[in-house]
Amino acid sequence: MSNSSSQTVIHLNTTTTYVYRSTFPPLMFFGLIGHIINIIIFTRPNLISNSCCNYCLASSCVSIIQILFGQLFRMLKSGYGILISVLWWCRIRMFFLYSTSLASITLITLASADRYVSSCSQVKYRQWANIKVARRLIPIVLIISALYHSHMLALFVIHEDGDNECWAPRHSAYRLGYDISFLILHGLIFPVLLGIFGFLTIYNIRQRQWFDQQNGPSNLRRHRVRDFQRMILVQTACTIIFTLPYAIHRLHRTITLSHQKSFEKLAWERLTMSIVRVLWFFHDSGAFYIYSLSSVKFRHELLKFLDGHLHRKLHRTPAMIIPLELSDENDKNRKL
C-alpha cells in the first residue's frame, strides 16, 4: 500500500470515528427526550383510550430499548473503541436491537391501519379501531418480533477482524437470506403498507368531505385532508429515506464478501456504513419528530400539556416566594 493510500485510509477511518462520536450523542439525547414526551402525551386521559395512540405509545417504549441496546453500545464500540467481545452479550444485544426495530415499525404500521379503519363508513371495519383490539395486538407483535429474531441468540458469531462485527456467519446462505429479508421487510413492505393505509385514509376522508358538501361546506374535513396528506407523505418518505440505504448497504456487503478489497475500499465501506447506520437509527430516534409532530392533533395536545405545566409552575412560584419573604420579616422582628 502506497503512502498516499495509507494516508487516505487513516483519514477515512478518522472520519468514520468522528461520525459516531459527533452524531450518536445528540441522536440518543433527542431520541430519548422525544420518546419520553410521546409517553407523557399518549398516557394523557383523553388519548390513552385511543387505539391509535396505544400503538404509538408501545412503539415509543420499544424504541427506547432500541436506543439503549443499539445506539449506545454502537457509539462505544465504533466511536471510542470500547469492545465487549463476549459472544452471549453480542447475541443478546443484536437480538434486542433488531427485534425492537421490527416491533417499532410494525406498531407504527398498525397505527396507520387503525387510522384507516376508523375512517371507514362501514361499522364492520370501524370496530377494528378499538382499544381492546390494540391491547391484544401489541403483545402479539412483540412476541412475533422476538420469535422472528430468536435465531440470533444461537447463530450469530463475532468475526475476528478489524471491525469485530457481530453478525451472521460469512459466506453462508443464512446471512444472505436474512439480509434479503431485512431489505424486503424494512425497505419495501413497511413503506408500501404505510403509504397504502395512509392514502386509503385520505380517500375515506375525501369521500366524507364530498358527502358533507351535499349538505353544506365543511372546513374541518378540508383541514383534516391536508393534515393527513402532509403526515402520510412525511411518514412514508422518511421510512424509505432512513431505512432503505442501510438495508441495501448491508446486503451489498454480504454479496461482495468474497471479493478482493483493498484497505482503502474497506475504509470507504466502513464510512458509508456509519452514515447509513446513522440514518437508520434516526428513523427510530426521530419517531417523535417524524410521526408525532407531523400530526396537528398531537401538536395541539403537546402545546396544551406544556401550557398547563408552565401555567401551574408560574402560579406556584409566587406562593413559594411570599412565605419566604414573610419568614425573613419575622426573623428581623424577633431580632429587634
At 223-254, the pLDDT tens digits run 555 666 677 777 788 888 999 999 999 999 89
DSSP letters, 260-324, are: ---HHHHHHHHHHHHHHHHHHHHHHHTHIIIIITT-HHHHHHHHHHHHHHHHHHHHHHHHHHHHH
- Which CATH number characterizes residue 112's domain? 1.20.1070.10
- The CA-to-CA distance between both ends of the chain, in Å, stands at 88
- Whether 202 is in a domain gets the answer yes
Residue 95 lies in a domain: yes
In a domain, 108, yes or no: yes
Domain range for 250: 13-311
Plot region of 171 (φ>0 → left; ψ -120 to 50 → alpha; else → beta):
left
Instruction: Give the integer Cα–Cα distance in Å for 228 and 138.
Output: 24
* pTM (two decimals): 0.85
Indicate whether 306 belongs to any domain. Answer: yes
Chain segment 71-127, per-residue pLDDT in tens? 999 999 999 988 888 899 999 999 999 999 999 999 999 998 998 998 888 888 889
Does 329 fall in a domain? no
Establish if 327 belongs to a structural domain: no
Say if 254 falls within a structural domain.
Answer: yes
Alpha-carbon distances of 230 from 198, 234, 283, 313, rounded to whole Å: 10, 6, 18, 35
What average pLDDT score do residues 51-74 get? 92
Residue 331 in domain = no
Determine the residue type at 13. N
Residues above pLDDT 90, as percent of the chain: 46
Burial class (CB in 10 A: 0-12, 13-18, 19+), 266: middle
DSSP class of residue 69 equals I
Q: How many domains does the chain have?
A: 1
